[in-house]
A and B are shown apart, each in its own frame.
Chain A
């Protein structure tokens, strides 16, 4: 019994920090209708700044912690004013969500450049000796953590209920348009919520640093845990955020002690999926959440596609380049990255169908890569199944998993869909780590054979190149046919207005499921090819970072354009290998690229190029846009 209580106490300590991050989520969500996924990174910013003040400048712990929180808030203010606030009125909520993924990556990049990749730990604020109460040992830092959490909750409560600023925050949460009409500077209030949330996260980071060592990319763990906590509790409920955080902390610790530390994540994720299925608004939410009146006005408006002849011409040029490329690039590391570009592009093609055409946000695409990759690799390696058959088995299994997942995801929209798919990806991730006997665990699966068809082994990079290039050509042609026809039109109709689509006879659920299945199949194919090409597969190659990276590739290239994302994949895969000595800047550059694209070129490189070509074409064609009813409407 004592041990049990001890574990629960540890869970409460961990949970207090989750609760703080979750509070920040809830605060920003209530004011803006968006989850700021960069939230967790501010924990790490504060902790590392505090470490620097303490170690390099020799400050005492408490002033260093205080200064770190202030510095983090200032950093957040600059970041928010330059990115988060301008995004409103420009991007749809799903776009802003993706923007905050970019911010998360950007902050991680900054930390990597400043502090390197090693973990840091601080000494406890008031000594190492734990308190002993009735035979229970409570780490002294625990008092600081719980105290800080209580203080933040009380201060936040006072601010929201008793001050004019709190009133403005709550007004924006209720109705942004009305708040603006009442003279509230919505931009400033949004920024304030963003900074306040970051400061709360910073407090969490500072008090947690002594009992957990943190490195540059620990932020996403806080983001994910805080996100799960707030989803369990209910996005609109502050009480829910705190309760969800504590619950998550306890589940995590109990799972780690009584089940297995390898599966403790899986346990929390199952709880989350159960909540999403049975109480999608969370356990504590009182209402249905915010109504998003602004959503419709902020969809990307253009239609970026090439007409028949231009499309075929571009296709022919691209095919010729594909065929000739191996002649131009010497065999070696760089050529190998080109092959990897192609393999990843296959998965991104699937993501384009799902996200670009059908408008279903997915943050767990790499989960299907993992299912396909591990199934194929294990079958081929352990059971000597021919690679082709092993790959097909992986694809079939991934599609089956996709169908099961659809039961959850087809009921979810927007943010909840993003959350559900993220949870799925993390679940697969933690299974890949946990099932050591099957997958080889964290260190990966080795000795995977080459891909082979009949008697032919695809053993060299060159043969793999032509295999992948051939597959890509076939897949692009098939998908182009599908997307130009009735199937693709139905998907695009669902993307923005499922109700109107349904009223025209489109079975929305069936088309969503079809899109999920196609994307899962392509991701699984990509995952198997990846494993066969590397002769090795580890969870981190097909983990959540990969999922987020693929979303970035899709957006940078251009959603709903099929070939556009190839540009994004190539950029994010090849650039780091071209500038090896600058590898430390890769994370930063990826984040910066994402943020800039979401803000200034949401239609992607390919989309922008097509728009430019169309604009030039219009210069030479008679004007067609002279509207009969007085100009072109907004």
Chain B
């Protein structure tokens, strides 16, 4: 298993996809993250790892502004995100998935994926109501794209059944596809491999590489070390709300602090 082509440095001269500076979050007396700073280079696949309770999902929630930070700054492609609604952030192309699969019940797999295309729907509601040709054409185009993505993930045969009828692994895959349908510039994936079996995890790795090669920047929270080391070109390690190491997978694996905080803890368990 080899990493992706030589780790892309902060290239192209443009701003990083994500720059996080001195991010703090307190819940009452609990310090969930403190002074977190790192960058996600545009076009990179960055993994965010750390033991349970390190604050990884909290960080995602802060980035997508499900709750506001207590201090610090989040800048997305040169644009500060403070004060934007989650939907406005998504509309800028910063799209996330959730730790537990959250497919929409009472909608088919295809419809679920099409919800992801929301920010690309241009036809105003009035034209949709009138079955206007341009609105129908747009819907067909989006449906074709959804079908193509479903085929890529091997889910084409399930397109017309209720998404909640799928096994958990397939539901998580639907969620990733749904996020892709939004055409994100930066995709945040929260433990996409949790609950997946080995074969599904291998499929996911292939999918992640394909997405990355397409130019989408990816940041992924993941516990599956084989997956992280196989696909990531940059790793950020979080422990107890602080960044304790950053670097290439190889550098991070060799870092004694990481071994102590993460692997050491596992060995002790």
Which residues of A approach B to under 8 Å, CB–CB?
299-303, 477-479, 481-482, 484-490, 492-493, 495-497, 499-508, 514, 560, 624-625, 627-633
Contact = CB atoms under 8 A, between A and B. Distances in A.
B102 A500 contact: yes
Nearest to A359: B106
A604 to B, nearest CB: 13
7 contacts: A486-B118, A490-B115, A492-B107, A493-B107, A499-B66, A505-B91, A629-B167
Interface stretch (B14-22, B68-76, B127-135): B127-135
A607 to B, nearest CB: 10
B114 to A, nearest CB: 6
Contacts of A301: 105-106, 162, 164-165
Nearest to B117: A486
B118 A490 contact: yes
A501 B167 contact: no
Given A303-B161, A486-B121, A504-B182, 18 more contacts: A300-B106, A301-B105, A301-B106, A301-B162, A301-B165, A481-B130, A485-B139, A489-B111, A493-B104, A503-B86, A505-B90, A506-B118, A507-B87, A625-B161, A629-B170, A629-B197, A631-B167, A633-B168
Nearest to B112: A493
Q: Kindly state the interface size class of chain B when it binds its partner.
A: 35 or more
Nearest to A496: B105
Contacts of B168: 633
Nearest to B169: A629
SS of B interface (majority): helix
A505 B87 contact: yes
Contact of B165 (A482, A505, A630, A633): A633
B111 A492 contact: yes
B193 to A, nearest CB: 14
Interface of B: 64, 66, 85-88, 90-91, 95-96, 98, 102, 104-108, 111, 114-119, 121, 123, 125, 128-131, 135, 139, 154, 157-158, 161-162, 164-171, 178-179, 182, 197, 200
Contacts of B123: 485-486
A508 B87 contact: yes
Q: Which of A482, A492, A500, A505 has the most CB of B within 10 A?
A: A505
A560 B178 CA distance: 22
Nearest to B163: A303
Contact of B129 (A479, A490, A631): A479
Contacts of A488: 128
Given A504-B90, A504-B95, A504-B179, A299 B105 contact: yes
A625 B131 CA distance: 32
B130 A507 contact: no
A627 B170 contact: yes
List the 10 closest pairs (A to B, CB-CB), nearest first: A486-B121, A505-B90, A485-B128, A505-B119, A482-B129, A633-B167, A500-B102, A502-B86, A478-B129, A629-B167
B68 to A, nearest CB: 15
B130 A478 contact: yes
A191 B32 CA distance: 42
Contacts of A299: 105-106, 164
Contacts of A633: 165-168, 171
A328 to B, nearest CB: 31
Contact of B200 (A477, A502, A629): A629
A501 B115 CA distance: 8
A138 to B, nearest CB: 49
B106 A492 contact: yes
B90 A627 contact: no
B135 to A, nearest CB: 6
B159 to A, nearest CB: 9
A613 B10 CA distance: 57
Contacts of B167: 627, 629-633
A481 B87 contact: no
B107 A303 contact: yes
